[in-house]
Amino acid sequence: MAFDFTTKGILQEAVCGQYWRLRDCNNKPPGMIGFWSEKAVTFIENHDTGSTQQHWPFPHDKVMQGYAYILTHPGVPCIFYDHFYDWGLKDEILNLIDVRKRNRIRANSEINILAADHDLYVAAINDNVIMKIGPKFDIGDLAPNLEEWKVAAVGHEYCVWEKL
């Protein structure tokens, strides 16, 4: 297994208004999760990129969008200690971990990217989870039918639905 630095780099640029970067020319996620997800360790920060070193930090106000992405997508997600214990994000992260477990999202889960625009990214995972990140609030026909889906996690510029 290897840390998926490509996904980290593309994701942290995408959340700054370039969500189109999250879909490659084959309609797959970019980075290692798009071609060998079983070996991809996805992450938002680690001791070399964030923390006190701040060498390549993820945008602070977009960190939970990052976790909504890696915890609902294929790959093996890794949670950064500082975010979990020091930033007060423990409950939000735990909720996303619970969604992943309940819906059996695995390293090799199927993903269908429904939208990847400058202000919106929407994907369906295993046909039982839909996630959205980005500032666009009205997602029109991409929003799941609430008679068949329920909101499982929601926060600043992200939402995750699971099938009833």
Q: What single string gives the DSSP state of each residue in 77-145?
A: EE--HIIIIISS-HHHHHHHHHHHHHTT--TT--EEEEEE-SS-EEEEETTTEEEEESS----GGGSPP
* Cα–Cα distance, 15 to 64 (Å, whole number): 10
List pLDDT tens digits, range 144-164.
Answer: 999 999 999 999 999 999 999
List pLDDT tens digits, range 135-146.
Answer: 999 999 999 999
Domain ranges of the chain: 2-163
- Is this structure's pTM higher than 0.95? yes
Per-residue model confidence (pLDDT) at position 133: 98
Per-residue model confidence (pLDDT) at position 56: 87
Per-residue model confidence (pLDDT) at position 48: 81
Per-residue model confidence (pLDDT) at position 50: 72
List pLDDT tens digits, range 36-92.
Answer: 999 999 999 988 887 677 788 999 999 999 999 999 999 999 999 999 999 999 999
71: helix, strand or coil: coil
**At residue 11, does pLDDT exceed 80?**
yes
**At residue 24, does pLDDT exceed 90?**
yes
CATH of domain 2-163: 3.20.20.80
Per-residue model confidence (pLDDT) at position 68: 98
